[in-house]
Amino acid sequence: MSMEFIERDITQKLLAWKNEHDRKPLIVRGARQIGKSWAVEDFGKRYYEHFAVFNFDRRRELAEVFEKTKDPLRIIHELTFFTEVPLLPEKTLIFFDEIQECKEALNALKYFCEDAPEYHIIAAGSLLGVAINEGNYSFPVGKVTFLQMYPVSFKEYLRAADSILFGQLTEFAGKLEPLPTIVFNRAEEQYHAYQVCGGLPLSARSMIGGNGIETVEKVLEDNLMAYEIDFSKHTLQADIPRIHAIWKSTPEQLSRENNKFVYRVVREGARAREYENALQWLVDSGMIYQVKLCEKPELPLSFYENSSAFKVYMLDIALLRKLAKLPAEIFVSSSNLFTEFKGALAENFVLTSLLAQGFGVPNYWTLQGNKAEVDFLVANGLTVIPIEVKSDRRISGKSFAEYDKKYHPSLRIRFSMNNIKKDGNLLNLPIFMADWVGSYLN
């Protein structure tokens, strides 16, 4: 299998951390199989003289080092027996992988921050959010820096797949002139390819490397299986079937008319209190995102949240497609049977794009009685920006106009398959330019 190189944007954030004057140990968070370990290793080998990795899942005996002492220098001395790489201040990047498997190692980061800041330490843990919520961890609050990582974005994918096209879209970003037809069409083709493979590194590399759709589908199938094994290995026995049930129900939840999460879709007669822990496990693990209703689009948005009304989206659109059992060919067909779910995939794509750009989990808005709905609300400085997502060129619908009439926002953004155009306070952007939306907000 060809393993095409995909430059990850997190590398620049890691470099900024390396150069910080008051640098603390760094924890990289994110779901499994999104490339955390690869990104840290690539960074370590490129920007340090030495790179040393200690994986607490593979080598359980590592835990004994941290159980014996809290002294950073003694810990470093003990760790030298587990590696041939010299552990030097400033010159070696020390990587604690799957750190959630050793709570003493997590706690030890506090002492590295206080007593040995000259050692550069990055930790990562796929199920760290779950572990912190469920375990009795003495967490080093204020002594570590966090960095959230997401699957490969469309921008990262395009940079590897077609660097010329990537440069052209980047050049147009922030401008209000329409893209040339040839650029638009090529970008649309690449967007459809990304919809097939998604942002899990192995499937994205397979698509870029031209390994064929069958290989991509196999990689996605393997990823889904690995995630479902995680459900069984890393949670309470009683919650395992509930986590599986919520996960499997996600495509159906999103294909409903207003996408709102309904427990009876999970299981007939299901009640919120029975499934809340399972839902929270999936959120904490980064597998799904919970987008809550905001009843009034004013800052802070969280103040006006209605936690009982929400939608759930998946960490990756290709996994959503695969879980929904949609064949890859669906993106080049004009089947009317696909209309409703095409919108759900488009919304999921825009959501993951907003998250990767640092906007945080957005909210959504409805007019009383569900007479109108806006897909996402994001806070940008002192303004709230409503975002509407359309999966194709048809942009009919009164919801956005109703929101405009009621709240008069300075800017509304609609993603669709139409070209760049500004009309009053309404900015239309091609959906494949979601990763560049920040250039229109400065």
Tens-place pLDDT, residues 355-384? 999 999 999 999 877 778 999 999 999 999
The least confident of 113-122, 186-195, 321-330, 332-341 is: 332-341
Asked if pLDDT for residue 340 goes beyond 90, the answer is no
Tens of pLDDT, residues 138-189: 677 899 999 999 999 999 999 999 999 999 999 999 999 999 999 999 999 9
For residue 166, what are its two tokens?
């990537």
Beta-strand relationship, 120-125 and 92-97:
parallel
325 is a domain residue:
yes
Q: Quick check: 4 pLDDT over 90?
A: no
Higher pLDDT, 239 or 73: 73
Same domain, 68 and 171: no
Domain final position from 148, 183, 202: 148
Residue 94 and residue 229 share a domain: no
> Is residue 337 pLDDT above 60, yes or no?
no
Whether 136 and 165 map to the same domain: the answer is no
In a domain, 114, yes or no: yes
CA 154 to chain centre: 12
**Domain boundary pick from 91, 113, 148:** 148
Q: What is the pLDDT of residue 423?
A: 96
| Cα R_g (the chain), whole angstroms | 23
Does the pLDDT of residue 103 top 80, yes or no? yes
Residue 1 belongs to some domain of the structure: no
315 and 169 together in one domain = yes
Q: What is the pLDDT of residue 2?
A: 40
Question: Do 170 and 134 belong to one domain?
Answer: no
DSSP class of residue 441?
T
- Residue type for position 33: Q
For position 370, what pLDDT does the model report? Answer: 73
Predicted local confidence at residue 1, as pLDDT: 36
Answer yes or no: do 76 and 134 share one domain: yes
Q: Which of 80-84, 254-258, 333-337, 348-352 has the lowest mean pLDDT?
A: 333-337
Does 4 reside within a domain? Answer: no
Tell me what pLDDT residue 336 has: 61
Judged by phi (left if over 0) then psi (alpha if -120 to 50, else beta), residue 358 lies in left
Kindly provide the b/e burial profile for residues 42-79, where b requires at least 16 CB atoms within 10 angstroms of the residue's own CB.
Answer: bbbeeebeebbbbbbeeeeebeebbeeeeebeebbebb
pLDDT level of residue 338 (50, 70, 90 thresholds) = low
Lowest mean pLDDT among 118-127, 129-138, 309-318, 418-427: 129-138
Residues 173 and 130 in one domain: no
User: How much is the average pLDDT of 290-300?
Assistant: 96
Q: Check pLDDT > 70 for residue 350.
A: yes
Whether 265 is covered by a domain: the verdict is: yes
What's the mean pLDDT when you consider all of the chain? 93
Q: Is residue 108 part of a domain?
A: yes
**Nearest alpha-carbon partner for 433 in 196, 103, 178, 101:** 178
Region 385-403: mean pLDDT is 91
Closest residue by Cα to residue 88 from 51, 113, 45, 123:
51
Residue 125's pLDDT is 86
| Confidence (pLDDT) at 257 | 74
pLDDT digits (tens, 9 = 90+) for 33-69: 999 999 999 999 999 999 999 999 999 999 999 999 9
Among 89, 121, 148, identify where a domain stops: 148
Question: Looking at per-residue confidence, does 158 or 257 come out higher?
Answer: 158
Q: What is the largest CA-CA distance in the chain?
A: 68
Whether residue 158 sits in one domain with residue 139: no
Q: Is residue 47 part of a domain?
A: yes
Q: Which amino acid is at 376?
A: F
Taken in order 246, 248, 250, 253, the sign of the CA dihedral is negative
Question: What CATH number has the domain bearing residue 37?
Answer: 3.40.50.300
Please check whether residue 306 lies inside any domain of the structure: yes
- 138 lies in the same domain as 182: no
Does one domain contain both 193 and 132?
no
Containing structural domain, residue 15: 10-148
CA distances from 77 to 66, 67, 88 (A): 12, 14, 11
If asked whether residues 240 and 385 sit together in one domain, one would say yes
Residue 432 clears pLDDT 70, i.e. is over it: yes
Q: Answer yes or no: do 100 and 162 share one domain.
A: no
Query: Residue 182 CB: number of other CB atoms within 10 A?
Result: 10
**What's the pLDDT at 371?**
79
Contact 370, 346 (CB under 8 A): no
Structurally, how many domains does the chain consist of?
A: 2
